[in-house]
Structure 1
Amino acid sequence: MARNLGFGGLRSKLAASEAAPGLVLMACAGAALALANSPFGHAWHDLFLHALPWTPVGRLETLHAWINDGLMAVFFLVVGLEIKREFVMGALSDSARRHLPMIAALAGMAMPALVYITVTHGHSELRGGWAIPAATDIAFALGVLALLGSRVPPAVRLFLLTVAVVDDIGAIAVIALFYTESLEPGWLVLAIALFAAMVALNRFGARALPPYLVLAAALWFAVLHSGIHATVAGVLAAFTIPVALDSQGNSPLLRLEHALVGVSGFVIVPLFGLANAGVELGTGNPLAPLPLGIALGLILGKQAGIMLAIFGCERLGIAARPAGAGLLHLWGMALLCGIGFTMSLFIGALAFAAAPQLVEDAKLGVLAGSLVSALAGAAVLRIAPRPSE
């Protein structure tokens, strides 16, 4: 699979694969929009939401459910592996380097939520969508950076990636804490026991991946039935995978991440985009409180929160801005953090699971806000001085 590459080889391969999935995701989002607004729109909708003739897991009755609750658990497993890697051996391993991106990420989640709450004030049925504009889509943002080439200083790119990773941690916590309606005690106890078994494997020095993968599948099944969203199982499983080298000189965590990152980026996330990004543009009002609150949260809230955090930390002496970053670099990066897409669409589907029309309105806001953020961020970074200038 990825034998004898060591930390450096695997990490370079992972870094090289970061941008391309974002470009694929853009294409799939455009295809989903085009199909949803074509004469095949209803057939496209039915493909994902009609009950399957047979399913091995009773709770997953549609293709949409298999993608959102099944395949996306693998996506969250990869996100969890990435988060652990960054904390153990990456940009978040140095406590001094954590301060600015962590503060920026938290402010970049709080301000969009505040903008959303302000815009939707007085509409109690929309209250549950406060977290929709709080997330940043790593793949989409890196795809835009890839199109800009060498115009972006490496430190700014790393800062955006680090903010997005911390952002993912926040989004996962939000899903677990705020989008769990009811719990099934028996299944929850089983999930806790399976997670404890995986932790014990790690503690006792097990380095072979198959036992972890078998327990991870069982953990996903238990969490699926527990009332907590099934994708949380992917993150919990990731945190138990060992980072240390095994007897053959490989890191189990890096080996698994390397094996899954392509599947996640080129198959799972594009499928998620195809299944969730399609919205009929003529059926909703983009200026209604829900889509407007989400769009403004992504466009205005994200950049305001991140820029205020950067300048506040700099002014107070908490942390310096990324090396080589001018005002335009920082502003463009903050704008790109307003690309919500994957996580925002995911949270929108959870927030309004019982109200399909609100889910569609939320999609409209996410797509509009993400598109404007992507175009504005790319435009600002395009006119910013090159790193060598």
Structure 2
Amino acid sequence: MSSSSARLTGRIQSTLRHFLDSEASGGIVLMGVATLAIIVANSPADDLYFRFFHVHVGPLSLQDWINDALMSVFFLLVGLEIKREMLDGQLSTWSRRTLPGAAAAGGMLVPALIYIFFNLEHEAALRGWAIPTATDIAFALGVMSLLGRRVPTSLKIFLAALAIMDDLGAVIVIALFYTAKLDFLALAGAGIVIGNLVILNRMGVKELWPYLILGIALWTLVFASGIHATLAGVMLALTIPLKRTPGTPEAPHHESPLHRLEHGLHKPVAFVIVPIFGFANAGVSFAGISRSVLMEPVTLGIAMGLLLGKLIGVLGTVAVLVKFNFADLPAQASWGQMVGTALLCGIGFTMSLFIGLLAFDDPALQDKIKIGILAGSVLAGVAGSILLSLFGRRGHL
């Protein structure tokens, strides 16, 4: 290998490690915040907790500002990561996309089918079919990071790539199935703004501020159009220019607007925005909730979709592809570790909560959704970490 190739490989590995470390740290913070929300929601301060996020600031409540506006920044980062990985990263070639892409598809299809199975007799509940299809990349990598060297880096890369493809699927699902009545005038205005963003891109404008100013206008118009406003973040991300060859891992933000913006958003999103969303939405009061709630079709469908659906969908897809030589198992990974990784894909906290809030307005039903997500995610996380720990070997890099 030439010295230039070695340097390029080193840069890619260092950048990827930095990315994984950032996501893992954010996941650990999110775990703590979610736990705190549940504690507060079941403490003497529960009434203050629930009333606080329903206080109106201007036209929206605090919770709406968090879910519709603040989370648009989260979706902007998701869009940036998807674009970078598809054009200049681990998913830049079809051969690299095959295994995580197919596994993500299987990991979305089977949980949806399991949820539908449990709720076939409850037509209104079927709207929540997409809730257990999402994988939370920060949570899953956070759990993986706690296992250290017992998990090979190849599995972390596989999980990160799968979760990014899963995010892409979730964005498409939200756009297609959770869109309200459309305002075509506002939608046309959003189209004009997107056109201007594309023109900026084609003109080679590298300053970020024109894109961000138009991004605010885009969010306003998308919000008014009936499409969920957070999708404006993804639309904006796809127009941010990307230079295919990044800079050094120490300063990738010097190379292109996309790298610069992604670098600037990682920590605020991981350590501020997502934790605020988690704290505002994870709190569920267990007062008056009996064991029978766990057996409710909605709760059970979500929990089993995350726990069993992700396991069957991800592991089954990987097994078929490897069996018929369409793909190889990640390097240095055993089948036992792959089972553990497939289980970790059942941690569906952030995106699952988000889809659940879009699917149902009824607070009582939202509580059942939260319990299902928490139960499925905790069981999947614990089972996955135990298996990865048992099958892991010291010194595996």
On whether the aligned pair clears a TM of 0.5, the verdict is yes
Equivalent in the alignment of 1:87? 86
Q: 1:320 aligns with which of 328, 333, 336?
A: 328
Corresponding position of 2:190: 191
Could you give the per-residue CA deviations for residues 186-224 of structure 1, whole angstroms, max 9, x where no partner exists?
110011111111111111211111111111111111111
Is structure 2 residue 381 aligned with structure 1 residue 374?
yes
The amino acid across from 1:238 in the alignment is A
Query: 1:352 matched to which residue of 2?
Result: 360
Q: Does 1:274 align with 2:279?
A: yes
Q: Specify the alignment match of 2:166 in structure 1.
A: 167
Query: Is this contact kept in 2: 1:126–1:290, CA < 8 A?
Result: yes
- What is the number of residues matched between the two proteins? 376
Identity of aligned residues (%): 48
Aligned match for 1:341, one of 343, 349, 369? 349
Q: CA deviation at 1:13?
A: 4.2
Deviations 1:53-92 (A, max 9, x none): xx2xx3xx21100100010000000011111111111110
Q: TM-score, normalised by structure 1?
A: 0.93
* 1:60-79 pair list within 5 angstroms: 61-79=60-78
How big is the shift at 1:18? Answer: 1.8
| TM-aligned CA deviation for residue 11 of structure 1 | 5.8
Which residue in 1 is equivalent to 2:371? Answer: 364
- Match in the other structure for 1:292: 300
Match of 1:114 in 2: 113
Call closer, same or farther: CA 1:246–1:94 in 2, change over 3 Å.
closer
Q: Would you identify which runs of 4 or more consecutive aligned residues in structure 1 move more than 2 Å? A: 7-16, 245-249
Give the alignment's Cα RMSD to 1 decimal: 1.7
Partner of 2:96: 97
Structure 1, unmatched stretches of 5+, are 1-6
Correspondences of 1:216-255 after superposition (within 5 Å)? 216-244=215-243, 250-255=255-260
In the superposition, relative to structure 1, how do residues 208 and 117 fare at CA in structure 2: closer, same or farther (>3 Å)? Answer: same
Report what 1:141 is aligned to: 140
Structure 1 counterpart of 2:69, one-letter code: G
Cα–Cα, structure 1 residues 11 and 314, in superposed 2: closer, same or farther, change >3 Å?
Answer: closer
Q: Is the 8 A contact 1:10 1:254 kept in 2?
A: no
AA aligned opposite 2:97: R
> Which digits, 9 at most, give the CA deviation of each residue in 1:14-56, with x for residues without a partner?
443121110100000000000111111111000001323xx2x
Deviation at 1:235, TM superposition (A): 0.5
User: Does the 8 Å CA contact 2:53/2:62 hold for their aligned counterparts?
Assistant: yes
Residue 10 of structure 1 contacts residue 255 of structure 1 at CA under 8 Å; is this kept in 2?
no
Q: Distance in 2 between matches of 1:282 and 1:224?
A: 35
Does the CA-based 8 Å contact 2:219-2:233 persist in structure 1? yes
